[in-house]
């Protein structure tokens, strides 16, 4: 069903009324801003009221738009820089991308001449691709399998084709999977959140990042990630969880310093994932869909289409990161034979709190 995109001035004026405290105060602030530049322009309170009410009959003259622009420029929201219509969420932005590349983890088997991909990652890719197609994307996107390397270092991967796409930073990129599954997610998340990739976080009582994955040792081995904690990192605050993780009985996701455990063996449990998106300096978009394990990644991918917040705009530099944690309900499933493979089933997903911005605002 077609819906009209939001008119940006409606949003900006509502934000300005909240900032100034009232319609009357905003009208005065707009008049003061125009007096500073000697424009002789103003906006009436009745017009501001119509804008707040989303009145479609409100008419804007050139003078009206200039008066508003003189005010918004003081707030850092120049109408000369922002599109007149808003784009909701990240899918609409991906639709507009001239070049879109999907990346997901892969493992090479040279002897069998195979490259193996995760079924969960393929389903996640399908979710996002179909969502974009429904919004009108007709251009062909490309796929870039990200071959697994461990130990993983920038030197080891800098010759890979997928890494060159990220390094050039001109195409819009969707990376699917956690850093343990897709090295592209490690690189992109590290650049988005301003940390060194493949360098374990310095664990203190105040951790600089808002989330971490705690993978099972039998799966992670000696893999090093800026977004990965080990059982040793949990011992001080979560000794019992650390013990269970050490012996591969559980994994976890740490959000804002609180650990959310996912048992290895259960009939029903919850796993976490995150969606993180950023406008890059060239106007392209990076999107990472990352779950603690494959089912969590798929469940997180189903929520991309429900992310309605607009990506921040920037001029000549990367924007703030829009990100949101996701909770995914999983059931064990019932195997009919030993060769059925992964029989875990995703039963539902939901955002774990509202979307956020990184860096977070500094408390005053």
Q: What is the pLDDT of residues 156-208, one digit of tens each?
A: 899 999 999 999 999 999 999 999 999 999 999 999 999 999 999 864 444 58
pLDDT-above-90 percentage for the chain: 65
Reported confidence tier of residue 216, pLDDT bands at 50, 70, 90:
very high
For residue 289, pLDDT beyond 70: yes
Our CA dihedral for 69, 70, 76, 82, rounded to 10 degrees, sits at 20
The whole-angstrom separation of Cα 309 and Cα 75 is 20
Reported confidence tier of residue 54, pLDDT bands at 50, 70, 90:
confident
Cβ atoms 109, 148 nearer than 8 A: no
Average of pLDDT values for 68-74? 92
Which single residue is written with the structure tokens 């374990």?
200
pTM of the full predicted structure? Answer: 0.82
Average of pLDDT values for 6-14? 86
Average of pLDDT values for 73-79? 84
For residue 109, pLDDT beyond 90: no
Which single residue is written with the structure tokens 């992109």?
188
Nearest alpha carbon to residue 289 among 274, 311, 307: 274
DSSP collapsed to 3 states, the chain: CCCCCCEHHHHHHHHHHHHHCCHHHHHHHHHHHHHHCCCCCCCCHHHHHHHHCCCCCCCCCHHHHHHHHHHHHHHCCCCCCCCCECCCCCHHHHHCCCCEEEEEEEEEECCCCEEEECHHHHHHHHHHHHHHHHCCCCCCCEEEEEECCCCCCHHHHCCCHHHHHHHHCCCEEEEECCCCCCHHHHHHHHHHHCCCCCCCCCCCCCCCCCEEEECCHHHHCCCCCCCECCHHHHCCCCHHHHHHHHCCCEEEEEECCEEEEEECCCCEEEEEEEEEEEECCCCCEEEEEEECCHHHHHHHHCCHHHCCCCCCCCCCCCCCEEEEEEEEEEECCCCCCCCCCCCCEEEEEEECCCCEEECCCCCC
Per-residue confidence (pLDDT) for residue 361, from 0 to 100 = 65
Both tokens of residue 269? 């449990």
Nearest alpha carbon to residue 105 among 299, 290, 305: 290
Which single residue is written with the structure tokens 């130990």?
151
Both tokens of residue 220? 């992670």
142: left (phi over 0), alpha (psi -120 to 50) or beta: beta
- Which of the given ranges, 16-30, 90-104, 303-317, has the highest pLDDT on average? 16-30
């Amino acid at each position: 069903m077609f819906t009209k995109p939001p008119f940006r001035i409606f949003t900006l004026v509502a934000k300005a009324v909240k900032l100034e405290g009232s319609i009357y105060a905003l009208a005065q602030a707009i008049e003061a801003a125009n007096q500073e530049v000697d424009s002789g322009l103003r906006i009436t309170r009745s017009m501001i009221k119509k804008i707040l009410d989303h009145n479609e009959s409100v008419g804007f003259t050139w003078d009206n738009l200039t008066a508003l622009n003189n005010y918004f420029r003081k707030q850092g929201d120049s109408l000369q820089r922002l599109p007149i219509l808003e784009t909701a969420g990240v899918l609409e932005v991906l639709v507009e991308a001239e070049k879109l590349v999907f990346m997901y983890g892969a493992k090479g088997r040279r002897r069998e001449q195979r490259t193996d991909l995760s079924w969960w990652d393929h389903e996640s890719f399908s979710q996002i691709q179909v969502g974009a197609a429904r919004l009108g994307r007709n251009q062909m996107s490309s796929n870039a399998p990200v071959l697994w390397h461990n130990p993983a270092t920038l030197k080891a991967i800098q010759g890979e084709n997928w890494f060159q796409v990220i390094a050039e930073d001109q195409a819009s990129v969707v990376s699917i999977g956690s850093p343990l599954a897709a090295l592209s997610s490690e690189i992109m998340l590290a650049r988005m959140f301003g940390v060194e990739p493949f360098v374990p976080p310095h664990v203190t009582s105040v951790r600089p990042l808002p989330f971490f994955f705690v993978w099972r040792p039998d799966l992670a081995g000696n893999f090093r990630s800026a977004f990965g904690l080990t059982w040793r990192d949990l011992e001080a605050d979560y000794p019992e969880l650390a013990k269970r993780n050490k012996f591969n009985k559980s994994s976890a996701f740490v959000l804002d310093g609180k650990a959310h455990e996912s048992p290895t063996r259960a009939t029903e449990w919850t796993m976490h994932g995150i969606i993180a998106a950023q406008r890059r300096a060239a106007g392209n978009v990076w999107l990472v869909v990352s779950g603690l394990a494959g089912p969590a990644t798929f469940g997180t991918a189903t929520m991309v289409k429900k992310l309605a917040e607009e990506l921040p705009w920037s001029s000549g530099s990367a924007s703030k990161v829009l990100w949101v944690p996701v909770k995914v309900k999983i059931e064990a499933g019932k195997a009919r034979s030993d060769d059925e493979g992964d029989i875990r089933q995703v039963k539902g997903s939901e955002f774990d709190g509202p979307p956020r911005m990184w860096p977070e605002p500094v408390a005053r």
